Amino acid sequence: MSLPTYNCLIVDDEPPAREVLKRYITKLPMLNLIGECSNALQVIAFLHANPVDIMFLDIRMPQLNGLELVSSLVGRPKIIFTTAYSEYALESYDLEATDYLLKPIKFERFVKAVNRALPNYQPPPVTKADISTLAKENFLYFRADRKMVKVVLKEILYVESLKDYVKIVIPDGQVITKYSMAAMEAMLPAGMFLRVHRSYIIAINQVISFNKTHIQLGRLEIPIGKIYQIAVFKKLSMP
């Protein structure tokens, strides 16, 4: 069975920046580049004529910037901002952007953004190179209480579903943010975290013991869903 493909549009007024994104997109078989624009006005006409699933969008552009463009769109595609400026991050999350990539963009970070845009896509197994990359980028930011909260990956105990939100539990508290469990599963590195139930993702290094139905994390017992049992036993039984 072939993987579904998703139509992509690149929007950037700098040709070298577009070339980087084009090269990255061609490496991922689920992405299909259908166009590129050098300004926001071209985008409006393009979207009227073409179905776009993901738009890789620069912010500082002539005439109309990327934030203004997104604000004007109805039925917008998934937006991944690509910019050299960090100061627009909060505004981008107010617009419910999928991700915010700072130039120069590393391929590993690009893949993570794509995974967030396509929550049903299953990322490949984590390699030693991936783990090395995570050692350098070992935290994520989540929007909670109208601000961006930094969460260090190694401090996460587990993630619990709360309908349209998730609760990220850390030793000194919790962060509640608007994400699906599928999106969280795609964002968190598979070498560190494991989906064990439709409502729970656990940190592998926090596991004290487990049996057929439950996993012990400190004093807390997390249920194992029936459809996850085989994968959980296989993963946790590995030396």
185-213: per-residue pLDDT in tens?
877 887 889 999 999 999 999 999 999 89
Distance CA 8, CA 27 (A): 13
131-190: per-residue pLDDT in tens?
445 444 577 777 887 777 888 888 999 999 998 889 999 988 999 988 788 878 877 887
Residues spanned by the domain of 13 = 6-117
CATH number for position 97: 3.40.50.2300
Question: Both 13 and 105 in a single domain?
Answer: yes
Which H helix or E strand runs over 126?
Answer: none
Does a structural domain hold residue 122? no
Q: What's the number of domains the chain is made of?
A: 2
Question: Both 112 and 143 in a single domain?
Answer: no
Question: Both 16 and 105 in a single domain?
Answer: yes
This prediction has a pTM of 0.53
Question: Both 107 and 163 in a single domain?
Answer: no
Question: Both 27 and 73 in a single domain?
Answer: yes
Question: Both 13 and 113 in a single domain?
Answer: yes
Does a structural domain hold residue 134? yes
